[in-house]
Structure 1
Amino acid sequence: MCGIAGIISPFDRQRDLEQMLELQKHRGPDNTGKFSDSGFAYLGHNRLSIIDLNDASNQPFSDNSGRYQLSFNGEIYNYLELREELKPFYEFKTESDTEVLMAAYIKFGQDFLDKLNGMFSFAIWDTKEKFLFAARDRFGVKPFYYSKNAEEFFYASEIKSITGILRNNEPSLKVWANYFAYGSYGLPSETFYQHIFQLPAGHFLTFKNGELKIQQWYDFVENVQKVKVYDNIEEAKAKYLSLLKDSISLRFRADVEVGFNISGGVDSSLLLALVNQYQEKEKISAYTFYSDDERYDELPWVKKMIGQTGNPLSKIRLDVNEVKELSRTTSIIQDEPFGGFPTIAYSKIFRQARQDNVLVLLDGQGMDEQWAGYDYYRGGDHSNNIQGQRRNFSPFKINCLSKELMKFAEKPNYPKPFDNQLQNLQYRDLFYTKIPRALRFNDRISMAASTELREPFLDYRLVEFAFAQSENFKIKGSIHKYLLRELVKELVPLGISYAPKRPLQTPQREWLGDELSVWVEAQLNRIAESQYADWFDLDELQKEWLKYKEGERHSSFHIWQWVNASFLLYQ
């Protein structure tokens, strides 16, 4: 896991490249590498050593001929299998997945992307043709941001690396308006900055002679239609379990210590059961967070699960007194709005893991989207209710936005490529709402601690398989993730396979309105005194804040939006 950065430019940009790398050094503290094709391209890399710790695998990485230069962020989990396939065509000099990626590109061209099982964003510079090829993994686990002007192209793993040298951080009024009005975090190519874009998941780009081209390489809809749909649930469970075991086995490939994150739900219990099949359980460290509030904490469930397996457990507590400073620092890390106190609490896990010298963590992201785990899936929600709130209440306070800002708001209208409501909602959450924002939040907080996060449940084979299966395997009566719960019941006899989903994980509602109310008011005052005050109807904002303090707390999302914005817009 690493950070990549680069500039394609006819000008001398060497010092700017160095500044870009310094701004995201936390992503790769083990080595900083640079390559210059003067007058054409400047490539850089921040390395976090996970596979093949030898210096020979430092990047930018050159092929044997010296023609190609690669800067790569991520992991290719099936690199050993690909290496065997490529041995007749390429003489390997390292044991790294980086060199396998390079060799596959040289052998197969852009078609090699379909062969990769992993999380990745990378850029390859062809010194002969003066041509840049860059790509991003199927679900966008790893980031790729870019900006372009008339003669130059800039890219990096984090937005701050680009804005830091271009000195251009103009906000995108459309994206900010949609965030406040509809809870949208932007479309797959958008960011909260007017001149910064992201390469969408499952796409690649080319840049040559000042011309940028972007093309989709992963067609999820087409792939799902090729998946076998099972009539027999026992056969489906067996097939899915086989894929899941292989996914977890691949993600244990590392030359450093691996641990995992755990909560009290069905997804974590399944992860717990399976990771212990690959190493002695006393060697696999588990991490969880809590806040000492029994209304929200999942710690009792976690302890019950761990009590059966004996894994060493690190319990990380979020204290209300930490929230002020962590909100500020996490906002800087994220560059864009993030999800609130759960993200802050989660960030503490990675810092502790790093202190424990556990550099790779697995977690259970992705099961709810592939097996229909959210309540609104059962309701056939046709709306663009991104937050998944109940229909008779909106967490968004449009009345607090100025008419001027609302002119830029456009209610998101997501594609519906399938012939049924359930799959269209799942598709929305996979590619437009829940998964993209969670992956972004988690990438930033894990990399800020110089640790790597792996998502075994987002193996594309698992997602495609689960997505294609019958609705009856996903929702049965009032039971969501039905097949998954039946599978867990056989592996983890803890009575947890039918535990209810807990949507809230911290006392954010209470803390914002009570212990942190003075701090919240200070952030609202910052908004009122800023150059962006005209985005809001400040009288309405104060009225909503007063109602919240007095107990109208159906949701705390709008309060958090304002607090988070005060750090991002007014620093």
Structure 2
Amino acid sequence: MCGIAGTLDLNHQRATTEGMLVHMANQLIHRGPDDAGYCLKNEVGLAFRRLSIIDLKHGNQPFFSDDGRIVSICNGEIYNYRELRHELQQKGYRFKTECDVEVLIPLYQEYGLEFMKKLNGQFGFAIFDDAQKQLLLVRDHVGICPLFYTVAAGSLVFGSEIKAVIAHPAVKRAVNLRGLDQVLSFPGSVSPTTMFENISALRPGHYLLVKTNGALQEKEYWDLNFGTTTPDHGDDGQYLDEFDEILRRAVKDRLNADVPVGYYLSGGLDSSLIGSVAQAVAPDPLRHSFSIAFDDAEHDERSFQRAYTQHIPSTHHEIQFDWKQVAERLRSAVYYSEAPLKESYNTCSLALSELVRDSGVKVVLTGEGADELFAGYVGYRFDAMRAGQVDGVRELDEMLEDEERNTLWGNKSFFYEKNYLALKAVKLDLYSPAVGARFGQFNAVRSDLLQRAKMKGRHPIHQRSYVDFKLRLSDHLLADHGDRVSYANSIEARYPFLDIRMVEFAARLPPRLKLNGLVEKYIVKEVARRYLPASIFQREKFHFVAPGSPALLAQNIDWVNELLSPEVIAKQGYFNPETVERLRKVYARPGFKLNLPFDSDLLMTVLTFGIFLQTFGMPDH
């Protein structure tokens, strides 16, 4: 993977310069420190920063068609490129390198805009067709790779990170209040919304087609769809074997690299299973595993990590994280996330990816996605326990809450993390009067977050899975905790559970094999029996929660106190200084503890929003 950026001049004035492209690309050097490439062609300017992983000598980009009229740059990996390459060779196409993303242009030439449906990978790419006078931007099915864009002063500007977009001189910086409200309301922001006004995130499974005459068309090419019925042939063994085979293929595909590939090891089920499958499908060479340890029993998982390393051989690397590092790394975490944070765990993730880099490894496998696809959170159990309960007499506030849920999900009975009516009161108390007066314009609960029709008539497990997939996975776990913290240290993370074959298998898997009784991730645990010791696959799910703002307040750090001071909060103008000061006094009480993850750490969001404003030079309200 790498970093890409570029512009399309919609005014036909050839406003882009090579110097501008270099400046935009330099904001992404952490994503691609190994090489760079540029193309300035008529209306389009493309910039590329490379992290060399496949075909180290010949894989630099851009790539061009034989006649030079089509050019592409790609951040990502195409895992089925060998099959696609063979198919294209049979049709007469020739290849100059062994690079996986060289297949994109011939696929586009052969199949037109339908070609992205043939891809299995994680990608964000751009293709400019000079003959058709159009630029195509595409983001992968799940949203592993980010891609952002805006139109400013007659130019479309895009990049793998917003840093590259705002480096363009025509792009203005302003806070998107809807983005802030999403962070306070949901796990994080939700594409296409970002924290930057007028800068959009291309949604997962979508492409953006931009004509040089200024016409923009965003279109969905894929979405998770569970269907209203799930056929169940009743043969559990067959389902387990199919899951096992898909996972083995997904892991094997993600081990393909011309650099060392390791894996994260938390000590939990998902990462342990990935590491064990990697050992099974490709036992040579001995792989590197990476864990983070903590000096307090509440967070430490070393006993499980070490039990695993005794079972599966690896060159194991371990780093101990001191919670004082939260304050030291928090500004970096916000810089790379390009958004305020709800929790401090990103600082741990930054330390872990730094360990990978310093160990000489460039690629790591990780276990994200299993919880969202196979009912791994406590909410799935709560749904099952509520099933069949009959509502009694409804109070007025309960009926109003029903309306909020119906607006969001098209289902008044679907509970997702919070009572949004109560949350509205909290947010209005937290926002400054000037911001609160505009609340109706940016209220995240009153926005379209997903396709409610794809929840209607679905099994409760599938309803929750769809919402987790849309709200928790791509823009939160894969962005805040995945892509950004790995690339901060020039590391590529790969996600076997998010192979498109696995995702579509999960969409047709009977719910009873996800939540069996009250056993979460039942099929994952059953397959894990084939690879892991019982101490790991029978382990209760560990809900890791990093210390939040109360721990920072207890350290009495000058810059933290300053950012939360009434004077600074009042000057910024987004939050109510009296409310923030009241929260600060409560959170600073000796022994005070938030019940995370059920309570929201409001002060952490306020603090990291202040860092966000400073880091990106955002204006006061």
Q: Is the shorter-chain TM-score for this pair beyond 0.5, marking a shared fold?
A: yes
Change (3 A) 1:529 1:278: same
Change (3 A) 1:552 1:248: closer
**Residue equivalent to 1:478:** 518
User: Which residues in structure 2 correspond to 1:495-506 (within 5 Å)?
Assistant: 495-506=535-546
Q: Which amino acid aligns with 2:525?
A: R
Match of 1:451 among 491, 511, 514: 491
Q: 4+ residue stretches of structure 1 with deviation over 6 A?
A: 384-387, 389-396
Match of 2:467 among 425, 428, 436: 428
- Structure 1: 5+ residue runs without aligned partners? none
**Residue equivalent to 1:330:** 333
Q: How many residues align?
A: 566
Q: Which moved more, 1:424-433 or 1:413-422?
A: 413-422
How large is the Cα RMSD of the aligned pairs? Answer: 2.6
Change (3 A) 1:188 1:117: same
1:220-277 alpha-carbon deviations (Å, 9 max, x no partner): 327x679864422221111111111111111111111000001121112211210101
Kept in 1, the 8 Å contact 2:30–2:490? The answer is: yes
Change (3 A) 1:532 1:117: farther
Q: Which moved more, 1:164-173 or 1:561-570?
A: 164-173
Kept in 2, the 8 Å contact 1:227–1:464? The answer is: no
**Residue equivalent to 1:92:** 95
In the alignment, does 2:62 pair up with 1:22?
no
Alignment TM-score, normalising by the size of structure 2: 0.86
Q: CA deviation at 1:519?
A: 5.2
In the alignment, does 2:601 pair up with 1:557?
yes
Q: CA deviation at 1:281?
A: 6.4
Q: Which amino acid aligns with 2:594?
A: R
Kept in 1, the 8 Å contact 2:569–2:576? The answer is: no
Q: CA deviation at 1:24?
A: 1.0
**Residue equivalent to 2:136:** 133
**Residue equivalent to 2:68:** 66
- Structure 2: 5+ residue runs without aligned partners? 387-401, 409-413, 616-621
Kept in 2, the 8 Å contact 1:28–1:450? The answer is: yes
Q: CA deviation at 1:532?
A: 5.7
**Residue equivalent to 1:402:** 432
Equivalents in 2 of 1:174, 1:268: separation in Å?
A: 34
Q: CA deviation at 1:552?
A: 4.6
Change (3 A) 1:395 1:437: farther
Q: CA deviation at 1:101?
A: 1.8
Change (3 A) 1:188 1:544: same
Change (3 A) 1:18 1:201: same
Q: CA deviation at 1:529?
A: 1.8
Equivalents in 1 of 2:519, 2:419: separation in Å?
A: 18
Change (3 A) 1:339 1:71: farther
Equivalents in 2 of 1:396, 1:353: separation in Å?
A: 44
**Residue equivalent to 1:461:** 501
Change (3 A) 1:448 1:285: same
Q: CA deviation at 1:349?
A: 1.8
Q: CA deviation at 1:111?
A: 1.3
Kept in 2, the 8 Å contact 1:124–1:134? The answer is: yes
Q: CA deviation at 1:97?
A: 1.0
Residue 121 of structure 1: SS of its match in structure 2? strand
Equivalents in 2 of 1:296, 1:387: separation in Å?
A: 26
Q: Which amino acid aligns with 1:564?
A: T
Kept in 2, the 8 Å contact 1:175–1:184? The answer is: no
User: Which residues in structure 2 correspond to 1:224-303 (within 5 Å)?
Assistant: 229-280=232-283, 283-303=286-306
Kept in 2, the 8 Å contact 1:530–1:570? The answer is: no
Change (3 A) 1:339 1:435: farther
Q: CA deviation at 1:167?
A: 4.8
1:512-540 alpha-carbon deviations (Å, 9 max, x no partner): 34335665423212x74257643222212
Q: CA deviation at 1:151?
A: 2.3
Equivalents in 1 of 2:175, 2:573: separation in Å?
A: 14
Residue 307 of structure 2: SS of its match in structure 1? helix
Kept in 2, the 8 Å contact 1:183–1:386? The answer is: no
Kept in 2, the 8 Å contact 1:446–1:453? The answer is: yes
Equivalents in 1 of 2:68, 2:374: separation in Å?
A: 46
Change (3 A) 1:537 1:45: same
**Residue equivalent to 1:489:** 529
Kept in 2, the 8 Å contact 1:372–1:480? The answer is: yes
**Residue equivalent to 2:395:** none
**Residue equivalent to 1:82:** 84
Alignment TM-score, normalising by the size of structure 1: 0.93
**Residue equivalent to 2:396:** none
In the alignment, does 2:43 pair up with 1:4?
no
